[in-house]
Amino acid sequence: MDLYTEGDPIADTRAPDGPIETRWERRRFEAKLVNPANRRKMTVIVVGTGLAGGSAAATLAEQGYQVKSYCYQDSPRRAHSIAAQGGINAAKNYRNDGDSVHRLFYDTVKGGDFRSRESNVHRLAEVSVNIIDQCVAQGVPFAREYGGLLDTRSFGGAQVQRTFYARGQTGQQLLLGAYQALERQIGLGNVEMNARHEMLELIIVDGKARGIVVRDLVTGEITTEFADAVVLASGGYGNVFYLSTNAKGCNVTATWRAHRKGAYFANPCYTQIHPTCIPVSGDHQSKLTLMSESLRNDGRVWVPKAKGDNRKPKDIPEDERDYYLERIYPSFGNLVPRDIASRAAKNVCDEGRGVGPGGLGVYLDFADAITRLGRKAIEAKYGNLFEMYERITGEDPYEVPMRIYPAVHYTMGGLWVDYDLQSTIPGLFVIGEANFSDHGANRLGASALMQGLADGYFVLPNTVANYLAAGPFEKVEASHPAAVEARRDVEDRIQRLLAVNGDRTVDSFHRELGQIMWEHCGIERSEAGLRKAIDEIRALRAEFWQRVRIIGDADGLNQSLEKAGRVADFFELAELMCIDALHREESCGGHFRAEHQTPDGEAQRDDERFAYVAAWEYGAEQPVLHKEDLKFEYVHPTQRSYK
Ligand SMILES: Cc1cc2nc3c(=O)[nH]c(=O)nc-3n(C[C@H](O)[C@H](O)[C@H](O)COP(=O)(O)OP(=O)(O)OC[C@H]3O[C@@H](n4cnc5c(N)ncnc54)[C@H](O)[C@@H]3O)c2cc1C
What is the Å distance from ligand 1's center to 235 Cα?
5
Average pLDDT over residues 602-612: 96
pLDDT higher than 80, residue 1: no
Closest-CA residue, ligand 1 atom 4, reads 84
Average pLDDT over residues 126-130: 98
Residue 72, pLDDT score: 98
Average pLDDT over residues 506-526: 97
Closest-CA residue, ligand 1 atom 15, reads 448
Q: Which CATH code for domain 481-612?
A: 1.20.58.100
C-alpha–C-alpha distance, residues 338 and 408, integer Å:
11
Query: Looking at per-residue confidence, does 301 or 641 come out higher?
Result: 301
pLDDT higher than 90, residue 284: no
Q: Could you say which of 338, 541, 584, 593 is catalytic?
A: 338
**Which residue among 80, 255, 388, 442 is best mutated to probe the pocket of ligand 1, counting the most ligand atoms within 8 A of its Cβ?**
80
Query: Looking at per-residue confidence, does 525 or 381 come out higher?
Result: 525
pLDDT higher than 90, residue 643: no
pLDDT higher than 90, residue 245: yes
Residue 5, pLDDT score: 97
C-alpha–C-alpha distance, residues 130 and 206, integer Å:
37
Residue 607, pLDDT score: 97
Average pLDDT over residues 37-63: 97
pLDDT higher than 80, residue 636: yes
Is the distance from CB of 422 to CB of 335 less than 8 angstroms?
Answer: no
What is the Å distance from ligand 1's center to 375 Cα?
32
> What average pLDDT is seen over the chain?
96
C-alpha–C-alpha distance, residues 242 and 265, integer Å:
21
What percentage of the chain reaches a pLDDT higher than 70? 100
- Ordered DSSP codes for 185-251: HHHTTSEEEETTEEEEEEEEETTEEEEEEEEETTT--EEEEE-SEEEE-----GGGGSSSSS-TT--
Confidence of residue 381 (pLDDT cuts 50, 70, 90): confident
- Running DSSP on this structure, what letter comes out for residue 333? G
Residue 313, pLDDT score: 96
Helix axis angle, 118-138 to 170-187, nearest 10°: 70
Residue 167, pLDDT score: 86
Dihedrals phi, psi of 446, to nearest 5 degrees: 70, 10
- Ordered DSSP codes for 478-494: TTSHHHHHHHHHHHHHH
- Structural domain boundaries of the chain? 274-408, 481-612
User: Half-sphere exposure of 350 toward its Cβ, with a 13 Å CA cutoff?
Assistant: 8
What is the Å distance from ligand 1's center to 441 Cα?
19
Q: Is the CB of 47 under 6 A from ligand 1?
A: yes
What is the Å distance from ligand 1's center to 51 Cα?
7
pLDDT higher than 80, residue 585: yes
pLDDT higher than 90, residue 116: yes
Q: Is the CB of 433 under 6 A from ligand 1?
A: yes
Confidence of residue 74 (pLDDT cuts 50, 70, 90): very high
Residue 622, pLDDT score: 97
- Residue 347 in 3-state DSSP? helix
Confidence of residue 601 (pLDDT cuts 50, 70, 90): confident
Q: Is the CB of 245 under 6 A from ligand 1?
A: yes
C-alpha–C-alpha distance, residues 237 and 252, integer Å:
5
What is the Å distance from ligand 1's center to 37 Cα?
33
Q: Is the CB of 163 under 6 A from ligand 1?
A: no
Q: Is the CB of 50 under 6 A from ligand 1?
A: yes
Confidence of residue 157 (pLDDT cuts 50, 70, 90): confident
pLDDT higher than 90, residue 168: no
Task: For residue range 455-486, list pLDDT tens digits in order.
Answer: 999 999 999 999 999 989 999 999 999 999 99
Q: Is the CB of 233 under 6 A from ligand 1?
A: yes
Task: For residue range 396-437, list pLDDT tens digits in order.
Answer: 999 999 999 999 999 999 999 999 999 999 999 999 999 998
Residue 281, pLDDT score: 85
Average pLDDT over residues 569-574: 98
Q: Which CATH code for domain 274-408?
A: 3.90.700.10
**Which residue among 234, 278, 421, 443 is best mutated to probe the pocket of ligand 1, counting the most ligand atoms within 8 A of its Cβ?**
234
Amino acid (one-letter) located at 361: G
pLDDT higher than 90, residue 111: yes
Angle (CA) 597-600-606 rounded to 5° is: 30
Task: For residue range 198-223, list pLDDT tens digits in order.
Answer: 999 999 999 999 999 999 999 999 99
| 111, 113, 607, 637 from 604: Cα distances, Å | 14, 10, 9, 12
C-alpha–C-alpha distance, residues 250 and 233, integer Å:
12
Angle (CA) 48-127-414 rounded to 5° is: 40
Residue 282, pLDDT score: 81
Residue 146, pLDDT score: 87
Residue 17, pLDDT score: 92
pLDDT higher than 90, residue 614: yes
Closest-CA residue, ligand 1 atom 13, reads 84
Is the distance from CB of 537 to CB of 575 less than 8 angstroms?
Answer: yes
Average pLDDT over residues 618-628: 96
What is the Å distance from ligand 1's center to 595 Cα?
33
Residue 639, pLDDT score: 84
pLDDT higher than 90, residue 641: no
User: Half-sphere exposure of 145 toward its Cβ, with a 13 Å CA cutoff?
Assistant: 9
Confidence of residue 640 (pLDDT cuts 50, 70, 90): confident
Task: For residue range 324-352, list pLDDT tens digits in order.
Answer: 999 999 999 999 988 999 999 999 999 99
Residue 400, pLDDT score: 96
Task: For residue range 16-44, list pLDDT tens digits in order.
Answer: 999 999 999 999 999 999 999 999 999 99
Closest-CA residue, ligand 1 atom 3, reads 84
Confidence of residue 156 (pLDDT cuts 50, 70, 90): confident
Residue 133 CA from chain centroid, whole number: 24
- Judge whether 95 counts as a catalytic residue: no
